[in-house]
Amino acid sequence: MKTRESKIKTASWVGIYGNAVLSIAKITVGIIAGSLAVIADGIDSASDILTSIITLITAYIITKPPDIKHPYGYQRADTIATKALSFIIFFAGAQLGISTVMNLIEGEIREMPSIIAIYVTLVSIVGKFLLARYQCKMGKITESQMLIASGRNMQNDVIISLSVLLGLSFTFIFKLPVLDTITALAVSIWIMYVAFKIFMQTNIELMDGIEDTSIYNDIFKAVDKVKNAHNPHKVRIRKISNNYIIELDIEIDGSINLHEAHKISHEVEKSIKENIPNVYEVLIHAEPFGDMDKNEKYGVSSKDIN
């Protein structure tokens, strides 16, 4: 766990420093070159510094141990931060969309930046691409939706910068200035779509849902490996950050004593943890053969997925 949190902190600091360098470079060059487009791009990179600061603060929050108010710990701060990032990404896309619509209404034409502005934009594209790839890679390694969302946000910035260059090319090569604004509007819609997908994905975890339901089959197979453990049912899984908390009922011989029943339950817990990665806790309720409630509403049994 400490290794995971350390990697998230490192990725956050890389994002802060990387975006700070790009932001300062673009704003400075934009002022010197007289390009409002490059200045705006620099301000957008400055907003990414805020995104990385959020991930850094969250990395420190999730290190806090469980307490009386949060007995499951603070790992879901990762998910909450991801939802906050989705709002930031959506707001950036909406802001771009509103400005492009206003440009279409007013017939405003974007100015061609000087050659130095084009150079810094190209450097920004490369820098943002590398930052986005690093953030997404670290997000997958640490199973942090927060870092993946941050990486997607930086991918949006790459597309924004590319659309600026593409739009300017259409404007001044083909003499069709309206295409510049239309390109920016298409990009803003795509950014808002990505933000919406991130927002909806976090809902699954916050509602104690599971995106990959194949884990249920893995649980049933793990229980089948334990002698005298039968009919796993009422299986419920909640995911907290990258960890699973699994609850289930099993049936055992009602004539055995408590010590033997406890031993079987312990073997089931051990089997599940050995066969499924990132299991934080397994809660087992043992009941005698035939005592299963036929009208139970919660949880999953093998007949529900076969």
What confidence tens digit (pLDDT) does each residue in 94-113 have?
877 787 787 777 765 555 55
Residues 166 and 17 in one domain: yes
Question: Distance (Å, rounded) from C-alpha 257 to C-alpha 255?
Answer: 7
In this prediction, residue 243 carries a pLDDT of 85
Place of tokens 């700070």: 20
Residues 165 and 39 in one domain: yes
Residues 259 and 180 in one domain: no
Residue that finishes a domain, picked among 206, 228, 255: 206
- Rg from Cα positions in the chain: 26
Question: Distance (Å, rounded) from C-alpha 151 to C-alpha 170?
Answer: 29
Q: What is the CATH number of the domain that holds 243?
A: 3.30.70.1350
In this prediction, residue 35 carries a pLDDT of 61
Residue that finishes a domain, picked among 176, 206, 236: 206
In this prediction, residue 134 carries a pLDDT of 92
Per residue in 175-200, pLDDT tens?
A: 665 666 676 677 778 778 888 888 88
Question: Distance (Å, rounded) from C-alpha 304 to C-alpha 306?
Answer: 6
Residues 195 and 272 in one domain: no
| Total domains, the chain | 2
- Element (H or E) spanning 158, and its range? helix 145-173
Residues 10 and 105 in one domain: yes
Residue that finishes a domain, picked among 177, 206, 235: 206
Q: In the sheet where 279-288 sits, what is the strand order?
A: 230-240, 243-252, 279-288
Residues 45 and 193 in one domain: yes
Over the chain (306 residues), the average pLDDT of each successive run of 10 is 79 90 84 67 75 86 88 85 85 78 68 65 87 90 84 81 69 62 73 84 83 89 93 89 88 91 94 92 89 73 72
Per residue in 247-265, pLDDT tens?
A: 999 999 988 999 999 999 9
Residues 193 and 266 in one domain: no
Domain that holds residue 288: 214-305
Residues 171 and 218 in one domain: no
Residues 66 and 158 in one domain: yes
Q: What is the CATH number of the domain that holds 6?
A: 1.20.1510.10
Residues 48 and 187 in one domain: yes
Residues 99 and 174 in one domain: yes
Residues 8 and 133 in one domain: yes
